[in-house]
Amino acid sequence: MADRVVVTGASGFVGSAVARALVARGFDVRAVVRATSPRANLADTGCEISEGDMRDKAAMLRAMEGARYLFHVAADYRLWARDPNEIVRNNLEGTRATMQAALEAAVEKIVYTSSVATLKPIEGQSAGESSRHDEHTVIGAYKLSKVVAERLVEKMVAEQNLPATIVSPSTPIGPRDIRPTPTGRIIVEAATGKIPAFVDTGLNLVHVDDVAEGHLLALDKGRIGERYILGGEDVTLQQMLAVIAGLANRRAPKIKLPRGPLYPLAYAAEAVARFTNKEPFITADALNMSKYRMFFSSAKAARDLGYKARPYGEGLADAMQWFGTQGYLR
């Protein structure tokens, strides 16, 4: 009989990629999804569905019954909320409840999905796992939420023998970005000609299916308590937009904007968002983050896990194709 694996956040972008990779490997996958989550990403996977919220320890215990492994991928991934503390609470308390349930269920190994959001960019080079943010250096509620949740996991590994390996994806792109994520929104907006200019910033882009494969490698070879960056290639925003423009048969934006004049626009967008409750396209936190090129190195994962990532252009092409077939690019 196949080993049972639980995946939280399994209906989401990264979670569904992890669930699919596990099904392909022959695991018996139990997908934990909230009652309100869309199920389209799991429609053809054959995963068993278990309804539950990561903050509900009783629901997590039910989901982990008979499970050998846990992938905790679920997260509140928003760069803006009317109450920013809600993002911090959700990710911290969701991680706490899920990890406590895993200990009680005697799960053999956990792969915990953190983020490069917990790592501090280094000027002029790609940061590694040792360049850590703390609660005072991090920008924005989402990044703070990932820092405090990751520290909790590390503490539980040290004090309660939590059998967790931590993976830190960079910026995933590719198919099934159903919400879409903040990066997916950039791809959609750029492909439909709504981003005529750019600021000088950079990020590390990785195909979501390579991130999923990295999760499985962490299960196989990752050491308990260790962290591994699952990234791809360092790319400037200008380069990313140029590739998207080429795929969309549009002109690449050539105008580089200074950040300063964009802040009033961001504050206005956030004020509107408080009434509409829709995430604004530009926020003050995002502008503050964009001062840094968020470049990261996956050398440790490559060396210790055998991790590999395809060229970022393939991820953008797969994302564009999926967004196109799903009607996002009309």
Digit-coded pLDDT (tens) for 138-149 = 888 999 999 999
Cβ atoms of 199 and 146 closer than 8 Å: no
Cβ atoms within 10 Å of 187's Cβ, excluding its own: 28
Mean pLDDT of 79-105: 92
- pTM listed for this prediction: 0.94
- Separation between Cα atoms, residue 312 and residue 290, nearest integer Å: 20
Query: Is the confidence at residue 133, as pLDDT, over 80?
Result: yes
**Closest by CA position to 284, among listed 268, 266, 271, 269:** 266
Query: Between the CA of residue 281 and those of 184, 202, 224, what are the distances in Å?
Result: 12, 18, 38
Query: Is the confidence at residue 119, as pLDDT, over 80?
Result: yes
Cβ atoms of 98 and 60 closer than 8 Å: yes
pLDDT tens-digit map of 185-234 = 999 999 999 999 999 999 999 999 999 999 999 999 999 999 999 999 99
